[in-house]
Structure 1
Amino acid sequence: MRVVAGEFGGRKLKTLPGKTTRPTTDKVKGAMFNMIGPYFSGGNVLDLFAGSGSLAIEAVSRGMEQAFLVEKNFRAMSVIKENVAMTKQEDSFHLMQMSANMAIQQLSEQKVLFDLILLDPPYAEQEIAKQLKALVREELVAPDAIVICETDKTVELPETIDQFVQRKRQVYGLSAVTIYDWEAE
């Protein structure tokens, strides 16, 4: 696995051995970012289920200014720290070792607005609609925010979740990628 494009493009990333995490393949990661950009001029990205940190690192590599990576698994967080160190831009990354729901609460106190939200939860623990609604309720969503969800291909997410409207859904092997856009009232 590697960073696909941008400032860190081509650099190798480590993953947690075994089946604890399910890293997004380079092909799917490249397709995800091509659907929404593929590059950014600043902004904040939230990766609620960071795994190896690959998606958030890709977002910063492509121009996001700050990344908040949430991961409750201690071993996965160790891998994230190594991958972030590879960038030599550790100040662009904020690591939070806790559950996604706890992180939403903590971030609400910091009043950070997110331009890009990445949701790739363990397939057995999906609460995507609930977590997006919590991000809206806690006022953590920037105007024109984009959400990328990666799920099992059998999961059909709603057309709308709060003020998020589904733009596209694409299946890649066993996974589906769903993109939502924020639409102000």
Structure 2
Amino acid sequence: MKGEGNLRVISGKARGLKLNTPKNQDVRPTTDRVKESLFNIINFDIMDSNVLDLFAGTGSLGIECLSRGANKCVFVDKSKESMSIVKSNIKKARVENESITMNIDFKSAILSLGNKGEKFNIIFMDPPYYKNMFEDALSMVDQNNLLEEDGVIVVEHDTKDSFPENIGRLYKSRDKKYGKTTLTFYKMEEEA
């Protein structure tokens, strides 16, 4: 795996911190180039935000937000190995007080957070590249009102995958391609 053991926090209070990565090939941490570009795009949304890292993997994206001044981050991953890495990285970055971990599948997490009335300014979705998981996750986020009105959902996916323009009240606001990886951004339609 390229970049294995080479995952770092780019900016903020934990800048330069090397994060732990898994030994297996199941988790593909976001490359530095994609991560840097992503954070240039959402930089102004991060301060004091509530973040949901839905397929957390290493926790790299959520920890980057906390390092840059996010209020809190909920890290969700059903893999015990991934969650163990997420927890070790949260501790390493000293962001335990702003972090909540949920070692369950994304559907259970979305329902649980929705039932508690939780809302997020930034939601990351970087699931394993399997078909149909994205649309289910996006649809459930919409149905459970997890996204703040001015919030953004960032989906990292294989460039070959195509996404609908609209899912419920969510609309695709932009796509950014980086070779085999594409970031697709969804926002909430404003109430008429």
What RMSD in Å do the two structures reach over aligned CA positions?
1.4
- Residue of structure 2 in register with 1:59 after alignment: 65
Secondary structure, counterpart of 2:19 in structure 1: coil
Shift of 1:58: 0.8
Which residue type is aligned with residue 8 of structure 2? R
TM-score in terms of structure 1 length: 0.94
SS in 2 for 1:37: helix
- Which consecutive residues of structure 1, in runs of 5 or more, have no partner in the other structure? none
Counterparts of 1:141 and 1:39, CA distance in 2: 13
- Identify the residue that residue 2 of structure 1 maps to in structure 2: 8
The correspondence for 2:20, drawn from 10, 14, 17, is: 14
Q: CA deviation at 1:89?
A: 2.2
Q: What does 1:42-121 correspond to in 2, within 5 Å?
A: 42-121=48-127
1:127 aligns with 133
| Aligned residue-pair number | 185
Residue deviations 1:103-147 (CA, integer Å, cap 9, x gap) = 011112221111101000100254222222212211222110101
CA distance in 1, matches of 2:169, 2:13: 32
Unpaired runs of 5+ residues, structure 2, are 1-6
Per-residue CA deviation, residues 24-74 of structure 1 (Å, 9 max, x unaligned), is: 011111111111225622121111100000011111112211100101111
How far apart are the structure 1 equivalents of 2:85 and 2:179? 25
Q: Residue 21 of structure 2 aligns to a residue in which SS?
A: coil
Between 1:137-146 and 1:114-123, the stretch displaced more is 137-146
> Quick one: distance in 1 between partners of 2:115 and 2:188?
22
- Take 2:46 and 2:94, find their aligned partners in 1: how far apart are those partners? 20
Q: Is the 8 A contact 1:39 1:62 kept in 2?
A: no
CA distance in 1, matches of 2:70, 2:149: 15
Provide runs of 4+ in structure 1 moved above 3 Å: none
Distance 1:37 1:167 in 2: 16
Superposed counterparts of 1:97-176, under 5 Å: 97-176=103-182
- Kept in 2, the 8 Å contact 1:43–1:114? The answer is yes
Q: TM-score, normalised by structure 2?
A: 0.91
